Structure 1
């Protein structure tokens, strides 16, 4: 059983900040803290100084604990990081390279070599970056994922990696082992890769030095975490088979739950593994709210949303990629964003972009249906885009299915739930998460609006197929799958 009288800490190592939440087993937020991070971007290069992560964590954790009731016991903590962010360390866990961030693109040739061995990796995944780092810094070092470095500081010992972060480093979640033959063919040095455990596994406890720096009591259990996308999924409560969480931030990520992996020969959809052995399929698109910021950097979103309501649907149709290349619901490195038609003014262009993200989200769900993924559970909206009531209802109408909006959707909440699950050692993660997650709103689609968006959606699907990005079979299924019955997923 989860200790009802304890507080649980979740740590989220983001791109722009470190966030820490202190919550109870019923989801009451007792404290929160954050500290900013900065990185270096130059072309395909994106890196950070990993020492800054620890400094930011110390600031954020002290802020989160500062408002805790006196004498509150801390039951445990877990850490999530950006998926695919890695660095090299020495034998004691000290960094010897900068951290190559999740979207660093310098290892494209190494990724091609890995794919030649049969590994389904993408250019920005951790395994190609590990090979690139070895080429730059030489053998004899150890690879660390972003949370591994923080856990080393918290416990005083380099930990095994969690299998969620290890996925993009080539770890075989089905066999729960590194693909030794492929790694040998790639020339991966001995001892480069860490041991791996399932999320929720106890890694150690807060050491005295870390307690002094962070304010977290010495002896607090530290549990293996998951990637930020999986953490956000836990925070949404979407852990029952058939449930899905749509995270709309700068880009769009869909994460679901299934009893078995969702097989995708193209590698567009990949599967994390939950601590209980079930599967968390999903994919990450390059479409998202970042397109709004790019077109309207000074706009007031609430004002623009109100004006956009007059254009349902817009006369124009957009595929609003935030950056070149698409990863989900199709793989097209050469893809670029586009607008079909001519929006009459800024308000209609805003509407076109909002609807375009909704159409891309619908196509993602259609692709999951095409693969046979279970879609019969609830859909949850999280991420920064979910702060817009208008956009939430618009997306619900475009998708033709109900959507839930939780009160608190931070990945740090998901890590607090995972820590509580790991320490309790009993029950299901879904049970623990559903107790912590509080649903604020449930939106219902309006059937007449869903029908209204069918024609522009079909136009977008046609355009993607004509460009050679969307396979014909996927396009056919997207055009013919019904979306008019709100009771059908």
Structure 2
């Protein structure tokens, strides 16, 4: 009997597992049965406030939007079928709450950069811990610098007369607020969401001495458990609001990138999931902790003792939205496909003004076009090629760090819906890629929730994640694309953004 068939019998095919995803623009709820069929799905929009480097959301909106999405997703599903749920959220999004779970602050979002003034202090004080954890340093948007901002500047109006935080104040990650509301009490956070707050994934503890030196009170910090741990069950009040049956098991989740990786079924050592949305996010599996002296790649803990290295780029499909608003993208795709790579132009596809984060760190990086453009269709193709080349460079970079990269590759995200772009990306990589039948962070959380029924994560993914298609590269097209890729790498190096050692490794890989 095939492995997938054996795994399919591990789960009750009639049981329903609920995945909840707190994104930037919306909340999504997906109900998936043990055979991988989506039996309910819904979403609700979220709004935020952006001002310069600041990005906030109202935490109460997270709860009201999620409750509405759950009610719709579960409508018509017999309560006894619903067995468990898990929640993912944006990485590094935090708030302070009182002892009853009522928010005291806005939610400081994953890309909020207001804590820049605290980053040097964080990186100096915790240098040994961050080095041992493999990422060397934190960025201003990480949760720990933002926590210092909240404690020392951001919320003085909330402090008591003696300059102290209100009694019972707690640090919550975005997902923690939801699990508190669902269970009716504060729950532990998961190690995935706690990573950017400074949780030591190697020792699996909060680094008490370093946090104390930074002025973070120990009483502020939640307990931490591994993803997949049962945190509690849905309480009566939450059931009335969300429609989730009382007693449904609440399972500790992961951050959105890791959730998407689970949803793609990329769980074996050497497997990688490439999520092409507004930005490009690459997540893989390694049997060992991958350490990056440049601090570009960092690892989460994975199931069964594995590690999940990855990074999030400042480049991605957002370059299309930026340069072609309102354009007929299907028509542009047809024109690009008909060109047979006749245009030599390549666009460096940064999506905004924030510089690059992966596969190199360059805050001053800016978009450019290598070559001449002869019209809108050539510009469009140049952007598609640029993303494909950044993606290949991401793989070359993690290979340079010693991460295993020869396992299966999965494409997910909105960009994967463009069949021509997926083929172009596969040609640029020179690798066969898989396209799941359905994917996304919410689906990943449904798979993780299924482990509460006794299945391993690998067994749950084998039963619930289905491959829709495979895209195989054309060796002739790969050969035509590689010289221009190396020109692109050389230009990044010439501008001082890419380490020459990484460029040399990329060249060696291309010559192989």
Distance 2:94 2:471 in 1: 39
Does 1:176 find its partner at 2:193?
no
Does 1:432 find its partner at 2:460?
yes
Provide the residue aligned with 1:93 in structure 2: 101
After TM superposition, the structure 1 = structure 2 runs for residues 166-315 of structure 1, keeping only pairs within 5 Å, are 166-309=194-337, 310=339, 312=341, 314-315=343-344
Q: After superposition, what is the alpha-carbon deviation per residue over 1:368-390, rounded to whole angstroms, capped at 9, x for unaligned?
A: 11111101210000001001001
Deviation, structure 1 residue 275: 3.7
**Residues 79 and 245 in structure 2, CA contact (< 8 A), matched pair in contact too:** no
Q: After superposition, what is the alpha-carbon deviation per residue over 1:175-216, rounded to whole angstroms, capped at 9, x for unaligned?
A: 101122221221112312211000011111111010000001
After TM superposition, the structure 1 = structure 2 runs for residues 326-365 of structure 1, keeping only pairs within 5 Å, are 326-365=356-395
Provide the residue aligned with 1:487 in structure 2: none
Distance 1:109 1:11 in 2: 34
Deviation, structure 1 residue 312: 1.0
**Residues 236 and 437 in structure 1, CA contact (< 8 A), matched pair in contact too:** yes
**Residues 313 and 456 in structure 1, CA contact (< 8 A), matched pair in contact too:** no
Q: Secondary structure at the match of 1:31?
A: strand
After TM superposition, the structure 1 = structure 2 runs for residues 401-480 of structure 1, keeping only pairs within 5 Å, are 401-421=431-451, 423-426=452-455, 428-480=456-508
Q: After superposition, what is the alpha-carbon deviation per residue over 1:47-99, rounded to whole angstroms, capped at 9, x for unaligned?
A: 0000001110111001101142x454211000000011101101121100000
Distance 1:45 1:66 in 2: 37
Does 1:40 find its partner at 2:49?
yes
**Residues 49 and 98 in structure 1, CA contact (< 8 A), matched pair in contact too:** yes
Deviation, structure 1 residue 342: 2.2
Distance 1:71 1:468 in 2: 58
Q: After superposition, what is the alpha-carbon deviation per residue over 1:241-293, rounded to whole angstroms, capped at 9, x for unaligned?
A: 00000000000000001111111111111000124331111111010000010
TM-score (normalised: structure 1): 0.96
Provide the residue aligned with 1:319 in structure 2: 348
- Answer with 232-241 or 325-334: which moved more: 325-334
Provide the residue aligned with 1:109 in structure 2: 117
Q: After superposition, what is the alpha-carbon deviation per residue over 1:275-317, rounded to whole angstroms, capped at 9, x for unaligned?
A: 4331111111010000010001111221111111215153212
Provide the residue aligned with 2:140 in structure 1: 123
TM-score (normalised: structure 2): 0.92
Distance 2:110 2:343 in 1: 34
Q: Secondary structure at the match of 1:272?
A: strand
**Residues 30 and 67 in structure 1, CA contact (< 8 A), matched pair in contact too:** no
Q: Secondary structure at the match of 1:464?
A: helix
**Residues 450 and 483 in structure 1, CA contact (< 8 A), matched pair in contact too:** no
Q: Secondary structure at the match of 2:74?
A: helix
Q: Which 4+ stretches in 1 moved above 4 angstroms?
A: none
After TM superposition, the structure 1 = structure 2 runs for residues 72-91 of structure 1, keeping only pairs within 5 Å, are 72-91=80-99
Distance 1:71 1:41 in 2: 40
Distance 2:79 2:187 in 1: 29
Unmatched 5+ residue regions in structure 2? 1-9, 131-136
Q: Secondary structure at the match of 2:446?
A: helix
Provide the residue aligned with 1:64 in structure 2: 73
